[in-house]
Structure 1
Amino acid sequence: MMRWLTLLALVVFVPRDSEAQEAPAQGPAIVAALTQERVDIRSDFAGTQLILFGAAQGLRETDDIVIVVRGPRENLRVMRQGRVLGIWVNLAPVRFESVPSYYTVASTRPLSEVGAFSSLRREGIGLDHLRLDAPDTEHREIRFGVEVTVSDIGAEIAEYRAAIARNRRRDELFAETDQGVELLDGGLFRAKVSLPPRTPVGDYTVDVYLFRNGRAVADRTITLEVRKAGLERIIFEFAHAYSWLYGLVCAALAVLFGWAAAAVFNRR
């Protein structure tokens, strides 16, 4: 019910021409809503697509809309291969903290044309500006009077970060879409939010930005819930609440199925 009330507010939110002439000028503002606030993941889930509707008050022809969807965060250990004494081996892993499991950006134009570098970096908008921190291999130091973060492994850290983005792009979990936001009449806009088959469960944030003259002048955050449903949800919650017991059950089932298979083949 709240979702449809919000969608109705999008229409009421945009003033008519006569009202706009009589009312005093107001600053830019955004309202937005998804057609679906919760997605259930079942065994036959093959991905889905949601529609985000929004309205921007005071939208100008030169303004841009940017939408960033961030999934639940997780820690990752990333390894790469290297040659040691002529043999290819796995090198020491690098641990990354608070990496978004899902990250997509949609904009009315290419990000390089939408916002200034400093604005995009500050808001973490775009794969080039997504923070992927590896605190175990970083330290702070002063350079030219400014405190900066420096990696202990130098330029190699960029290869690890690129590997994370490359693998998640392959799984359709990271994406950046120019012209992914469609501007409609009256300050309205819409965009598609695609969730692939391997969509992680958890709480998502959807940030909508109004950019003007290279910087964000208004924003709105809405949430999306992705949860397992049915038998998958029961197993998922049991595995997380009683991980040790879940492990014992899996081991016991593996032994049972192995014994049953051996018994069948011995009879033959």
Structure 2
Amino acid sequence: MIIALLASLLTQQAVPQEAPQIMAALTHETVEIREDFAGTELILYGATRGLTIQDEIVVVLRGPDQDLRVMQKQRSFGIWVNAQAQEFDAVPAYYSIASSRPIEEIASRDALVRNRIGLAQLLDESATQATMDLEPYFAAVERAGARNALYTAAPRGVEVLDGGLFRATLALPPRTPVGNYTAEVYLFREGRPIARRSTSMRVEKAGIERVVYEFAHGAPIIYGLFCVALAMLAGYAAAALFGRR
């Protein structure tokens, strides 16, 4: 796929004065998560036509969506209790931005909002109660994602090479969610995107991890009973072993 991308670039360079375009491909179309998975790095290679020295590149990798319920803690009579809840619909379980320069130097906040770039913008769109002060909830979601390296930003994560080529490095942490991922690549000029390209990949369980995952999601009740029985059996075996000693 990468060889085809480079060949396409060389062919297109012969056509003068055409609108800027961007092409991109990931080194992995499928990432398998096995029992020893400790995270991995993804490399996105790309090529541009009409790139100038002022242009910048932004890459956004977005994982599968999930619904979130965030509770705000309040102190009542000396006890911390859950209070006002905020629901978020279709929030990405993984969200990573890599750029050739810090994103705030590439485009204004308004430009990023218009093009739906940035986790805060996506959270604002997915909130179900727009009348509340959402900033504390945004911060809580971002902290939780950052804690597991699921929400990341690499201000210098895109390397622009000679001849209009570029390369972006993206990291998948050990707790990477399974599902479909989309990589959006933007070519910015003077603070606005002038070209865009998307590519996709999939993260899936493999080996014993896949068997357990499908069992747990396909028959959750039986899986729960099996786990309880296994825990009881382990407890009985431990009691018998130590009691014999």
TM-score, normalised relative to structure 2: 0.92
Aligned counterpart for 2:100 among listed residues 93, 104, 108: 108
Pairwise CA distance, 1:260:
2.3
Partners of 2:200 and 2:119 lie apart in 1 by: 21
Pairwise CA distance, 1:31:
1.0
Aligned counterpart for 2:41 among listed residues 39, 49, 57: 49
Partners of 1:126 and 1:111 lie apart in 2 by: 10
1:215 partner amino acid: R
1:75 partner amino acid: D
SS of alignment partner, residue 67 of structure 1: strand
Aligned counterpart for 1:213 among listed residues 190, 211, 217: 190
SS of alignment partner, residue 124 of structure 1: coil
Q: In structure 1, what is the equivalent of residue 169 of structure 2?
A: 192
Q: C-alpha offsets along residues 50-74 of structure 1, whole Å, 9 cap, x if unaligned?
A: 2110001111111111000001111
Pairwise CA distance, 1:258:
2.1
Larger Rg, first or second structure (1 or 2): 1
Partners of 2:39 and 2:209 lie apart in 1 by: 16
Which runs of no fewer than 5 residues in structure 1 stay unpaired?
Answer: 1-5, 139-149
SS of alignment partner, residue 81 of structure 1: strand
Partners of 1:214 and 1:74 lie apart in 2 by: 31
2:61 partner amino acid: V
Which runs of no fewer than 5 residues in structure 2 stay unpaired?
Answer: none
Q: In structure 1, what is the equivalent of residue 148 of structure 2?
A: 171
1:9 partner amino acid: A
- Equivalenced residue count is 244
- Residue 263 of structure 1 pairs with residue 244 of structure 2: no
Of 187-196 and 87-96, more deviation after overlay is shown by: 87-96
Partners of 2:118 and 2:85 lie apart in 1 by: 26
SS of alignment partner, residue 80 of structure 1: strand
Whether the 8 Å CA contact 2:88–2:123 is kept in 1: the answer is no
Partners of 1:15 and 1:37 lie apart in 2 by: 24
Partners of 1:28 and 1:115 lie apart in 2 by: 18
Identity of aligned residues (%): 50
Q: C-alpha offsets along residues 39-58 of structure 1, whole Å, 9 cap, x if unaligned?
A: 11111111111211000111
Whether the 8 Å CA contact 2:33–2:206 is kept in 1: the answer is yes
- Residue 203 of structure 1 pairs with residue 196 of structure 2: no
2:127 partner amino acid: A
Pairwise CA distance, 1:86:
3.0
1:233 partner amino acid: R
